Structure 1
Amino acid sequence: MDVDAVMGELRALEDPKVRAVNLKHGDDHGVNLSKLRAVAKRLKTQHELAGELWATGDTAARLLALLICRPKAYGREELDAMLREARAPKVHDWLVGYVVKKSPYCEELRVAWSADPDPVVAGAGWTLTADRVAKQPEGLDLPGLLDTIEAELKGAPDRLQWAMNTCLAQIGIEHPELRARAIMIGERLEVLKDYPTSPGCTSPYAPIWITEMVRRQQA
């Protein structure tokens, strides 16, 4: 399929109700994600087509592009540029989670993005840091990360705050020697303490999150 045919298929999948829900979260597309994944499964990996879809700037097309691309085929500067273009939250999340994490430039970008003055870009860096805290913490200055979180979390913009809070929770969950301090920081700052949480879901408030995940690990 060429890019015009795919765009036509995406337009046919547009659902005003889905768009209305997504707009509340800052995502300007109306395609059900299960249906989008079904399209990706049929297309399989097509990196050139992924590039053409990304270039349209359309949110649904970019999400599809991230599902059919070859993550390791992107260069460092290309990924950096894509992240700075990816202002829709879902595109941002999928780019980091599905592409950057599989890239040989992941660690370089993690370090560079974490210190970026753009809070959305910095949020991507902190998301990658939280992932590394959980999976590959060797070489990270965990006490230093807690120092930064303690100083900056409260006043951080929403997406950066969420990523830093996730890093705080991961340190508390995965590193017993720092758990008490992580919980103390969460209790003092009270970030996301009143966040609405659906029944059966774990609160993103770090002290509750940490305590619950440790309980599950020990059960």
Structure 2
Amino acid sequence: MAELAALEDPRIREVNERHGDDHGVNLTKLRAVAKRLRTQQELARGLWDTGDTAARLLALLICRPQAFERDELDAMLREACTPKVQDWLVNYVVKKNPHVEELRLTWFDDPDPVVASASWGLTAERVAKKPAGLDLTGLLDIVEADMKDAPDRLQWAMNTCLAQIGIEHPEYRARAIEIGERLKVLEDYPTSPGCTSPFAPIWITEMVRRRNGE
């Protein structure tokens, strides 16, 4: 904890706080600490229990993802209070855990939009990599009905799922683009030069164009 405190940079904290994160540690330096420590599950649990955001990010880098029980991960997501911790928990730990599918289903209709957004993120991953058994028509129905008025993080995850359906599944592409065009979610999202807009119709069209070598 003393080492993490020494890495604190007020300028980084100021930038992070504008995005809802409450730490000021350079993530490259944090990853260097994690590389030195290597995998240490009990230390990871201890760091998580401090409640400190930088410590929790470090915990997620040095933990053993397969070692967590289902209920433990459920509790961790519900007490993860910042976007970066939530994102790293889902992408670095939950996705590699044997309970991932059970958690995806458990979180899908959760009243907490942050918890539900984790499920939609995991669902988008399945749409792209393991779509067998998914009701893609049903997912599009939910997106069409709920995405427009969803809270920001949930809306972003639902939009990602919408785009993945359109990109990966040609038979649903026209409907996915039509939903995006009608709802206009993220239509005006600021996008840096050279980057693809998260607006689903543009995102889908661009990714398909690249895959076709156009």
**1:92 lines up with 2:92 in the alignment:** no
Aligned equivalents of 1:198, 1:74: Cα separation in 2: 38
Instruction: Please point out which of 164, 172, 181 is paired with 1:187.
Output: 181
User: What amino acid sits opposite 1:82 in the alignment?
Assistant: M
Instruction: Please point out which of 118, 122, 145 is paired with 2:139.
Output: 145
Hey, what does 2:167 align to over in structure 1?
A: 173
Structure 1 vs Structure 2 CA RMSD: 0.4
**Deviations along 1:3-54, whole A, 9 cap, x unmatched?**
xxxx111011100010001001000000011110010000000000000000
**Deviations along 1:50-70, whole A, 9 cap, x unmatched?**
000000000000000000000
**1:52 lines up with 2:46 in the alignment:** yes
Aligned equivalents of 1:125, 1:146: Cα separation in 2: 15
The 5 A counterparts of 1:6-155 are 7-155=1-149
SS in 2 for 1:143: helix
SS in 1 for 2:20: coil
Structure 1: unaligned runs, 5 residues or longer: 1-6
What TM-score, normalized to structure 2?
0.99
Percent identical across equivalent pairs?
77
Aligned equivalents of 2:13, 2:108: Cα separation in 1: 31
Aligned equivalents of 2:33, 2:211: Cα separation in 1: 37
Structure 2: unaligned runs, 5 residues or longer: none
Q: CA deviation at 1:111?
A: 0.6
- Which segments of structure 1 move beyond 3 Å, counting only runs of 4 or more? none
Count how many residue pairs are aligned between Structure 1 and Structure 2: 213
What TM-score, normalized to structure 1?
0.97
User: What amino acid sits opposite 1:165 in the alignment?
Assistant: N
